Amino acid sequence: MVAVQKRRQAISLDGNDAPAFLGVTQSARGFAWRERLPREAQNLALAISQQHGLPELLGRVLAARGITLGEVPVFLDPSVKALMPDPAALAGMDRLAARIADAIIRREPVAIFGDYDVDGACSSALLARFLTAHGTRARIYIPDRIFEGYGPNIAALETLVAEGARLIVTVDCGTTSFETMAAAKKLAADILVIDHHQADEQLPDVLAVVNPNRQDDVSGQGHLCAAGVVFLVLVAVMRVLRQRGHYAAGAVAPDLLADLDLVALATVADVVPLTGLNRAYVRKGLAVMKARENVGLRALFDAAGLNQAPSTYHLGYILGPRINAGGRIGDAALGARLLTTEDDIEALKIATILDKLNKERKAIETQMLEEAFAEADRKLTERPDQPITIVSSESWHKGVVGLVASRLVERFGRPSCVIAWEKQAGGGIVNGTGSLRSVAGVDIGAAVRGAVASGLLHKGGGHAMAAGLTVAKDRMDKLEQFFATQLTDASSAARARSGLDVDGALVPSGVNDGLMDLIERAGPYGQGNPQPRFAFPAVRVKFAKPVGEAHLRCVFEAGDGSRLEGVAFRAIGQPLGDLLQNTGGMPVHIAGNLKRDSWGGREKIELTIEDAADPRRQG
């Protein structure tokens, strides 16, 4: 592991001409620290503060994220109305919305085929709740991750038609399901596709496809997750229904904004950029979620022991993993059922099951991580120039490979691919299911689509930061060669740019509710709008205690005697944890992001520690 850290240190300094923040060139995690705000944007930061009457810190945070003078008001107060495009701008929208409106008016049974992740569950629930509000019977079908895999399959579609569906809508899947859709042409049902994954020039042979990432779509909404696209679809369907006089005839139009909690959850959990309309979705969705009107989400909050106002952290790390747990190692339909139920008892039952499955998932993940890290360390020691970390095993659970892939990216700073091989009845191994995660600047979805087009994969797809694939064992060597060819330049460039961006330096005495209110004005934070990161220079670690098997809780103190609590997640046994636990009383620089927390009825502000550096070892 030490060798890998040293390689990463060397790489992270290449191509970075900006002076190191606090002089840190070799942090515990192998990063050089740098100021997030470029020199050329410092005048912009000052202008933002002066023209809009904002504190200097907030002006710097906004300028560092590329916000212009004119964009500041909408950025600080993003509204769905101001940021929403005309839904008709999305290719295929008019035809798709008209067909859903037809189903509502004719009271046709509708089947919804969704993906088994959070985005799929939220998208399915969003559409089902809309149809139900219009008196239309909606049946949700979520495939089993293990036995059916990703995307629609002909057996499932045949079952839905046999049950009476005359319209099938796939959400968060379907864009690359060419063979399945071709076989489904003989079925007595129309098929619509609502998706957001990258698309080839060819589209499936269905009645309509709405996907802002299809190549002929010029709407500029490719950053939306599937639930975000579904919301636009529902706006378009309501427009059609109004034009046809449906509401004038006595039907009650549902309040779409009341379901923005589902859109917000999917947007954060699917790690799409929190820019443009996505920011409004999440900002307004969090406000809706705070009211706890959705029966299923309320039950899930209770099962997780959360009794505070939700944040993007809760969506991404508390609610999302629990909904995902059903699709990973249990019943894939549990999440969608939870989000659509109006029965408190059923919601409590499902939420309790999901909470239990999430605990089981954590145990499985821990074992897989240990093995994956060991294999990745070995491979990178042999070939440190690898553009992507590829690991695999016969014993791994394929429902958890995506989580392990994310952890590999965190540790090694490059794209990763984790594959679980499937044992056949005769004992041999033929195929593997893989999940890929990437870093900024490396389009892993395009690489996977290229591998499919080259005949190296049975199937695969995704978007720039995440993808999935199915590969034959005997094609693995060629696949690795293909990825090496496709990703080397982009991956090398991404590693050369790597570093820890810092928004400013603070002392513990400056951390208070006023500062947090200021920081939160520029939220919500996530992919594409990073949480502000602050450095605390030359503080002394007064307390460092392990929490669980992997985390470290700390208290650090500045020279003026002020203190702040912090948590370093998954730091035990890593260079970061080693430094924090063995400072010898000497001062260290600590960097991370601040968050409000509530525990035992007491609210406090603490630092999520992301990195630390020994001032004596710089330069």
Q: Is the pLDDT of residue 619 over 80?
A: no
Mean pLDDT across 214-220: 96
Q: 3-state DSSP call for residue 285?
A: helix
State how far the Cα of 197 lies from the Cα of 35, in Å rounded to an integer.
34
Residue 425's pLDDT is 63
Mean pLDDT across 607-616: 96
Mean pLDDT across 44-70: 95
Model pLDDT for residues 527-557, shown as the tens digit of each residue: 889 999 999 999 999 999 999 878 999 999 9
For residue 145, what pLDDT band results from cuts at 50, 70 and 90? confident
Residue 146's pLDDT is 81
Model pLDDT for residues 20-35, shown as the tens digit of each residue: 999 999 999 989 999 9
The helix (run of H) or strand (run of E) holding residue 565 is strand 563-568
Residue 426's pLDDT is 63
Peptide bond into 85 cis (omega under 30): no
Burial class (CB in 10 A: 0-12, 13-18, 19+), 510: middle
Residue 150's pLDDT is 85
For residue 463, what pLDDT band results from cuts at 50, 70 and 90? confident
State how far the Cα of 563 lies from the Cα of 557, in Å rounded to an integer.
4
Q: 3-state DSSP call for residue 551?
A: strand
The residues near 37 (Cβ < 8 Å, ≥ 6 apart) are 45, 60, 63, 64, 503
Residue 10's pLDDT is 32
Mean pLDDT across 233-239: 98
Model pLDDT for residues 484-496, shown as the tens digit of each residue: 999 999 999 988 8
For residue 450, what pLDDT band results from cuts at 50, 70 and 90? very high
- Looking up tokens 């920011």 gives 279
Mean pLDDT across 435-440: 93
For residue 149, what pLDDT band results from cuts at 50, 70 and 90? confident
Q: Are 296 and 351 in contact (CB under 8 A)?
A: yes
DSSP string, 71-140: GHHHHHS--HHHHPPPGGGSTTHHHHHHHHHHHHHHT--EEEEE-SSHHHHHHHHHHHHHHHHTT--EEE
Residue 104's pLDDT is 98
State how far the Cα of 564 lies from the Cα of 525, in Å rounded to an integer.
22
State how far the Cα of 320 lies from the Cα of 593, in Å rounded to an integer.
21
Alpha carbon separation from 43 to 32, 65, 607 (Å, rounded): 25, 14, 29
Helices 320-329, 295-303: inter-axial angle, 10-degree rounding: 90
Mean pLDDT across 342-368: 96
- Looking up tokens 């909470």 gives 355
Q: Is the pLDDT of residue 6 over 70?
A: no
For residue 129, what pLDDT band results from cuts at 50, 70 and 90? very high
* Percentage of the chain modeled with pLDDT above 90: 84
For residue 5, what pLDDT band results from cuts at 50, 70 and 90? very low
Q: Are 566 and 578 in contact (CB under 8 A)?
A: no
Buried-exposed string 259-290: b where 16+ CB fall within 10 A, e elsewhere: bbbbbbbbbbbbbbbbbbbbbbbbbbbbebbe
For residue 440, what pLDDT band results from cuts at 50, 70 and 90? confident
Q: Which of 12-21, 400-409, 515-524 has the lowest mean pLDDT?
A: 12-21
Residue 335's pLDDT is 96
Per the prediction, the chain carries an average pLDDT of 92
The residues near 221 (Cβ < 8 Å, ≥ 6 apart) are 85, 89, 90, 212, 228, 229, 232, 276, 277
Please tell me what DSSP assigns to residue 214.
S
State how far the Cα of 5 lies from the Cα of 10, in Å rounded to an integer.
9
For residue 597, what pLDDT band results from cuts at 50, 70 and 90? confident
What domains are defined for the chain?
2-64+500-617 (2.40.50.460), 81-357 (3.90.1640.30), 383-486 (3.10.310.30)
Q: Is the pLDDT of residue 12 over 50?
A: no
Q: Is the pLDDT of residue 421 over 50?
A: yes
For residue 1, what pLDDT band results from cuts at 50, 70 and 90? very low
Q: Is the pLDDT of residue 173 over 50?
A: yes
Model pLDDT for residues 243-294, shown as the tens digit of each residue: 999 999 888 999 999 999 999 999 999 989 999 999 999 999 999 999 999 9
DSSP string, 584-617: TT--EEEEEEEEEEEETTEEEEEEEEEEEE-GGG
Residue 4's pLDDT is 35
Residue 16's pLDDT is 42
Mean pLDDT across 293-301: 97
Q: Which amino acid is at 345?
A: I
Residue 15's pLDDT is 39
Q: Is the pLDDT of residue 423 over 70?
A: yes
